[in-house]
Amino acid sequence: MAVSETSIGTWRAGLGRATRGLSASGRIGAAIILVYVAVALTGSLWAPYGAAAILTGSPFEGGSLKHLFGTDNLGRDVFSRVVLGTRSVLTMTFAATFLALAVGGLIGIVLGYLRNWVDELGMRIIDILISIPTLVLALLIISAIGNSLWLVVLTVAFLFAPRVARVARAATLNVATNDYVAAALARGESTLSICLREILPNIMGVMLVEFAIRCAFAIIFIGSLGFLGFGAPPPTPEWGLMINEARANATNSLWPVLAPAAVMALLVIAINLFADGLSRMIDHPGYRTTGAK
C-alpha cells in the first residue's frame, strides 16, 4: 500500500490547518517541541546505551561517533542519558503543569464567576501563597515530605496553581457578564456546569497560552530543583541532576555539563517561541507578525 499523492495532499492540508495563523517562529518552536516529544516516546528504543550503564567507554571521553556527547566520570554515555532523560523531564513538566492548570484554572474560574465573599477570601489566600518565594517554599515542602519524582510534580503543581488561578480569574471576569452565561443561569444550570461548559470554552485560548508559559517555567524550576539535589533522586537521568553530578568534574570534561544544559535551554526557547506565537494567534486571528510594530 503506497502512500498516494492525495493522502500527502490531505496530510499537508491538515498540517496547514493546524498551524494556520501561527507565526514562523511559533512553528519552529512547535516543531522542536514535537521532536522532543518523539524522543521522549521512542528514546528507550534507540538510545545506544542504558541510562545507568557504567563504563560504556573510558571516563571523560570527548564527543565521538561512538559517544556523541562523550562520557561522564563513571564512563556513562552522556548522549543516551540526555535522550533517556527527555522522558522523565517531559513527564514531570507536563504532569505538574497540567495539574496546576486543572486545579488553579477551576479555582480561578469559580472565584471569578462567583465574585462574592468566597472570591474575596480565595483571592486573599492566593495573594499570601504567591508572596512566598517559590524556590524557598519548594525547598521547605520537599525537605518536609521527601523527594521522589511524584512529590516534585505535586510540589510544582501546588506552587503554580495559585498563579494560574489569578490568570484564570482575570480572564473569567471578562466573560462572566456575557448573555450566554445569564441564559445558562436562567436555564437553571449549576455553578459548576456554567463554569465548565459556558466559561471554560471561552477562556480556552488564555489557558492554552498559560499552559505553554508555565511549561517553560516548570522545566527551569524542575531543573533547578534537580540541580540543588532536591529533585528526582539519582541515578534518574534528569537534566538538572546530571548537570549537578557532572559539575564537580567540569575541569576533566565539559561534555557531561554542557550537553544537558544545551538540551534544556533549546527546549525552553522552543516553548517560549511557541507560546509567543500562540498568544499572538489568539489575540489577533489572522494577524501576521512582522517583528516591529
Partner 1 sequence: MALISLLAVSAINFWLVEMLPGDAAARILGRNATPEALALLREQLNLHLSAPERYLQWLSKLMSGDFGISLVADRPVLDYIASRVANTALLSGFALLLYIPISISLGVITAINRGRMADHVISGIVLIFMCLPEFVIGILLISIFAIKLSWLPPLALIGQAKSFGDLLQLIALPTITLVAAMTAYAVRMMRESLIEVLDSSYVLMARLKGLPTWRVLLFHALPNALGPAINITALNVAWMIGGVVVVEAVFEFPGIGRLMVDSIGHKDVPVILAISMIMTGAYIVTNLIADVLVILLNPKLR
- Residues binding partner 1 (CB under 8 A): 127-128, 131-137, 139-141, 143-146, 216, 220, 223-224, 227-230, 240, 243, 247, 250-251, 254, 257-258, 261, 264-265, 268-269, 272, 291-293
> Nearer to partner 1 by C-beta: 122 or 194?
122
> Nearer to partner 1 by C-beta: 141 or 195?
141
Shortest reach from residue 237's CB to partner 1, in Å: 17
Cα–Cα distance, 174 to 17 (Å, whole number)? 28
> Nearer to partner 1 by C-beta: 15 or 128?
128
**Cβ partners under 8 Å of residue 118, min gap 6:** 111
Q: For 20-148, where are the alpha helices, taking DSSP H only?
A: 24-46, 78-114, 117-130, 134-145
Which of 90, 16, 130 lies closest to 268, judged by CA?
Answer: 90
> Nearer to partner 1 by C-beta: 12 or 124?
124
Shortest reach from residue 41's CB to partner 1, in Å: 24
> Nearer to partner 1 by C-beta: 4 or 290?
290
Kindly provide the b/e burial profile for residues 33-61, where b requires at least 16 CB atoms within 10 angstroms of the residue's own CB. Answer: beebeebbeebeeebebebeeeebeebbb
Distances (CA, A) of 72 to 41, 50, 234, 262: 24, 14, 14, 16
Shortest reach from residue 219's CB to partner 1, in Å: 8
Shortest reach from residue 129's CB to partner 1, in Å: 8
DSSP secondary-structure letter at 233? P
Shortest reach from residue 230's CB to partner 1, in Å: 8
Shortest reach from residue 216's CB to partner 1, in Å: 7
Cα dihedral 80, 82, 85, 87 in deg (nearest 10): -90
Does residue 164 contact residue 105 with C-beta atoms inside 8 Å?
Answer: yes
Count of Cβ atoms closer than 10 Å to residue 202 Cβ: 16
> Nearer to partner 1 by C-beta: 145 or 183?
145
Assigned C-alpha cell, 199? 466559561
